[in-house]
Copies of this chain bind each other. A is one copy, B any other.
Amino acid sequence: MSPTCNCSHDTIPNGLPRELHEQFKDPNHPANLICELCRLFYDNNWVTGTGGGISIRDVEGPNPNIVYIAPSGVQKERIQPWEMFVVELPDEKILRTPNDIPKELTKSYKYKQSACTPLFISCYTLRDAGACIHTHSQNAVMITLLYEDQSVFKINHIEQIKALPRLEYNSKSGKVEKIGSLENFETLIIPIIDNVPHEEDLVESLEKAIKDYPGTSAVLVRRHGIYVWGETIWKAKVYNEAIDYLLELAIKMKIAGINPIKD
């Protein structure tokens, strides 16, 4: 089930606590999926140079409030399952950090929590997401430059739009819920927020964008990248792929003088 190659990439070392050793035998454990997808995203040029990150909430596990987050500033394609920060919602209590792991496995590297952490938490809190992906995709950055004076990116009448969910605020549950998929002729709208010097300071504008655009599954950050979330990590992956496809196409259209919005 691995993206480009099914070779056993990660052999679990002996030094790990027995409990983790058991957990990581499951290729679908959130910590393993983060590693697998980071390698895939690296090949897509989305997380090179330590950029970007992934977080998964363990929605299928015994405690769906537990969140796994890739650490800050490391080479994303080389992280190992024992290098995750593990946080419990809603209090954001830190259950485990890679600094708790035997030093011979981490070479005494001092891990820091990802600066994206509060942004990931916003997606979990405001949207009940199961996973959140952050990339430095050049398509995301370029579209925000081509729409420099605009606060949203829009595209319509492209088949791939169908891969994205139709979301609606449900006044009974008080939640934004998926009620199907977009149609290909509909307009996909993704808000663009401006970058700030410190990633954690993006929280306010990200949360505002999420609230102002209840139909969106993503927020573009100008001159920076994109945040995409979904009900599960696989949905988040699909939404991210479909959006990046549409961003790439829109850039080509703009450069060829074709409006991504058809009348």
Q: Which A residues contact B (CB, under 8 angstroms)?
A: 1, 3-10, 39, 43, 45, 48-51, 75, 77-78, 136, 138, 141-142, 145-146, 148, 157-160, 163, 183-185, 195, 197, 221, 223-225, 234, 237-239, 241-242, 244-245, 248-249, 252-253, 255-256, 258
Are A50 and B7 closer than 8 Å at their CB atoms?
no
For A252, give the chain B residue with the smallest CB separation: B142
* A6: chain B residues within 8 A (beta carbon): 5, 7-10
Are A50 and B249 closer than 8 Å at their CB atoms?
no
Residue of B7, B49, B238, B244 near A5 (CB, 8 A) is B7
Are A75 and B223 closer than 8 Å at their CB atoms?
no
Are B249 and A142 closer than 8 Å at their CB atoms?
yes
**Separation in Å of the A145 CB from the closest CB of chain B?**
5
**Separation in Å of the A162 CB from the closest CB of chain B?**
8
For A183, give the chain B residue with the smallest CB separation: B197
Are A253 and B145 closer than 8 Å at their CB atoms?
yes
For A45, give the chain B residue with the smallest CB separation: B245
* A258: chain B residues within 8 A (beta carbon): 145-146, 148
Are A159 and B51 closer than 8 Å at their CB atoms?
yes
Residue of B145, B157, B159, B225 near A256 (CB, 8 A) is B145
* A10: chain B residues within 8 A (beta carbon): 6
* A7: chain B residues within 8 A (beta carbon): 5-7
